[in-house]
Amino acid sequence: MNRYQVVVTREKPFWVAVVQGLPGGATESRSLALLEGEVRDLVSGLTDVDEDAFALSWDYGAAFPDDVAAVLGQVRIARENLERSRVEYERLQHDAVAGVRGEGVSVRDAAVLLSLSHQRISQIAS
């Protein structure tokens, strides 16, 4: 799957998106919420592929002063780390539930061990 880097700037009242490495790959929108659809339509039209056949990476840094851009970057990294941690936590939860239940520990006791509700233990175990 192709991935396109999109650099976003602000030219009030517009959000301007430039698709790196794609000649003619620029569009604008008054709403940031609508910009992805505009960019997908643009890339699809320029490359003759379906809108869901490629990935977009977004860079909003140029739209803000350096301090704000830095914080936005930190938020993005923190969110990615949080997602990785969540996935790892869920895997460990599953392994722990399987392990203690495999040792004959009751659902309610497993709930105490893992600081979860007995209902959640049952969900994980199924």
Residue the block writes with tokens 């460990």: 92
- Summarize the confidence of residues 61-82 as an average pLDDT: 95
- Nearest CA to 76 among 63, 92, 57? 57
Same domain, 15 and 2: yes
pLDDT digits over 34-47, tens only? 999 999 999 999 99
For residue 1, is pLDDT > 90?
A: no
For the chain, percent of residues with pLDDT exceeding 90: 99
Listed residues 47, 63, 79: the one ending a domain: 63
pLDDT digits over 5-43, tens only? 999 999 999 999 999 999 999 999 999 999 999 999 999
Same domain, 25 and 52: yes
Same domain, 33 and 5: yes
Give the span between the Cα atoms of 63 and 12, in whole angstroms: 10
Same domain, 54 and 97: no
pLDDT digits over 88-107, tens only? 999 999 999 999 999 999 99
Domain limits at 19? 1-63
Same domain, 59 and 75: no
CATH number at residue 45: 3.30.160
71: Cβ contacts below 8 Å, ≥ 6 apart: none
C-alpha 72: how far from chain center: 14
Same domain, 18 and 44: yes
Give the span between the Cα atoms of 85 and 99, in whole angstroms: 21
Same domain, 42 and 84: no
Q: State whether the Cα torsion 9-14-17-22 is positive or negative.
A: negative
Same domain, 1 and 43: yes
Listed residues 39, 63, 87: the one ending a domain: 63
Cα first-last separation, the chain? 35
- Nearest CA to 8 among 76, 69, 53, 55? 69
